[in-house]
Amino acid sequence: MTIDNQIEPPQSFMAMYVTPGRSRPNAPQEIVLARYEQCEDMACILTEHARTLAFKENFSESEVLARCHQGLRDDASDFNEMEAAWVICRLTELLGWEEHLGGEVPAVHAPE
């Protein structure tokens, strides 16, 4: 089966699906692409929410990111720990808040 999807997940995302010492993902391409699209979509959706929290609620950027991360880690969330961390890292990029991340979100890497 071929996939006609031209989306190429970034290396930071692919790191969650590549076992150390290997070069190929440990999940089918369809699953990796679907998870990437879901995570990227969530990061985009959260941008407006994050800006609103920072402006209207007067939360610091670090607090906004922590709250979003906690929401993604909620039991009802469809994101695992590594995906939640990746979404927050991507959110900081989209918002231009990288300097406020301060190591509060765990690094994203494949399980050993």
Q: What distance in Å separates the CA atoms of residue 87 and residue 68, rounded to the nearest whole number?
A: 9
* Banded pLDDT at 5 (limits 50, 70, 90): low
- Residues in CB range of 69: below 8 A, 6 or more apart: 84, 85, 88, 104, 105
Separation of alpha carbons 104 and 11, rounded Å: 21
Whether pTM exceeds 0.85:
no
Residue 25's beta-bridge partner residues?
18
DSSP at 18:
B
Q: Is the pLDDT of residue 22 over 70?
A: yes
Q: What is the pLDDT of residues 48-94, one digit of tens each?
A: 999 999 999 999 999 999 999 999 998 788 999 999 999 999 999 99
Whether 70 maps to a domain, the answer reads yes
Count of domains forming the chain = 1
What is the domain range of residue 31? 11-17+27-100
> Binning pLDDT at 50, 70 and 90, where does residue 98 land?
confident
